[in-house]
Amino acid sequence: MDAYERITRNAAEVVTEEEIEALADDPDGKRAYVGYEPSGVLHIGHMLTANKLIDLQEAGFEVTVLLADVHAYLNDKGSFEEIRHTAERMRDQFIAYGLDESSTQFVLGSDFQLDDDYTLDLHSLELETTLARAERAMAEITSSDSVKVSQAVYPLMQALDIPYLGVDLAVGGMEQRKVHMLARDVLPSIDREPPTSLHTPLIADLSTGHGKMSSSTGVTISMEDSREDIESKVNKAYCPPTADPEPTDDGAERENPVLQVFEYHVFPRFETVVVERPEEYGGDLEYDAYDDLEADLESGELHPADAKGALAEYLDRLIAPGREQLAE
């Protein structure tokens, strides 16, 4: 797998293709970043973008993880003391999950977001940005009809973080796309380059296959989960024998979240996936590529229950080091 393939595999979108190709031509020493609010224990959403950071490290990139304590404070996630304690715990969990500590820099937002230059640049962006434009990037921040001023400033800070961190590539889930497009719109107004960005897919709701998996609503998987918790959640997951399920009764699109987790979490981290089955049911199945597992589920060779059993096993292997770190 060449650098371009490793950088872009399992990406839902890159902006722009030409900019990514230029980075892939000479990735050594380039820097990518993801920002996370220190709001709790790592869950499957954090792990998806962390998988992409691991890909980028293997391609030659250095990685910055922004533990955005100021953003979390603006989003009413607690006091600075509480948020910074959570940030320290999350740092250790990312290392336990597999980020290369020697090529990963962890940065608190308060390390630079409270400086005079940053504040003045932020005010310059506020002068250049209409409230309507900022609101279009706020969908993932506010969950109520009552929008606070801090939530309007939040996406402008996310945009400004990119040049202040000195990164070549901004990484995030598809929910971050609007923020990155805002950054491309507004940063040139303060003589900053528009950022290159890469967006990872969203995993569907584990129980229904409709909407997105969320740590605040529905069922999610996190580093706090025991082996038994993981098995229980996966066994209850929506998993029809197809990668293209029928829509809901209301006509809403559905995904197969079990297959999505295999594709975006398991296969990027394991060269071979073994589905254990009794000999009376055909014996073990071994897969070197996700597409083969999907094809066997479609054909009926792989039963959804066996797929779930394997998924729980491999998720537990990924989560166990972080779970042990939390226990310490």
Q: What does each of the 328 residues of the chain score in pLDDT, given as a tens digit?
A: 899 999 999 999 999 999 999 999 999 999 999 999 998 899 999 999 999 999 999 999 999 999 999 999 998 899 999 999 999 999 999 999 999 999 999 999 999 999 999 999 999 999 999 988 888 888 655 555 677 888 889 999 999 999 999 999 999 999 999 999 999 999 999 999 999 999 999 999 999 999 888 766 668 899 999 999 999 999 999 999 999 999 998 999 999 999 999 999 999 999 999 999 999 999 999 999 999 999 999 999 999 999 999 999 999 999 999 999 998 8
- How far, in Å, CA of 267 to CA of 236, rounded? 22
Assess whether 87 and 188 both reside in one domain: yes
Assess whether 189 and 290 both reside in one domain: no
Assess whether 188 and 319 both reside in one domain: no
Assess whether 238 and 176 both reside in one domain: no
- How far, in Å, CA of 17 to CA of 201, rounded? 17
Residue 321's domain is classified under what CATH number? 1.10.240.10
Assess whether 98 and 152 both reside in one domain: yes
Assess whether 154 and 272 both reside in one domain: no
The answer to whether residue 216 sits within a structural domain is no
Query: How is the beta sheet containing 197-200 ordered, strand by strand?
Result: 13-15, 197-200, 169-173, 31-36, 62-67, 104-108
Q: Are 307 and 319 in contact (CB under 8 A)?
A: no
Assess whether 321 and 189 both reside in one domain: no
Supply angle C-alpha 202, 207, 209, rounded to 5: 45
Q: Within 13 Å, how many C-alpha atoms sit on residue 170's CB side? A: 28
- How far, in Å, CA of 88 to CA of 108, rounded? 10
For the chain, what is the domain count? 2
Assess whether 172 and 300 both reside in one domain: no
**Domain that residue 269 falls in:** 227-326
Closest CA to 171 of 78, 99, 253: 99
The answer to whether residue 207 sits within a structural domain is no
- 93 labelled ligand-binding: no
- 124 labelled ligand-binding: no
- 260 labelled ligand-binding: no
| pTM summary value | 0.94
- 69 labelled ligand-binding: no
- How far, in Å, CA of 160 to CA of 214, rounded? 26
The answer to whether residue 24 sits within a structural domain is yes
Tallying the residues shown for the chain, one arrives at 328
- 113 labelled ligand-binding: no
Q: In what helix (H) or strand (E) does residue 305 lie, and over which residues does it extend?
A: helix 304-327
- 57 labelled ligand-binding: no
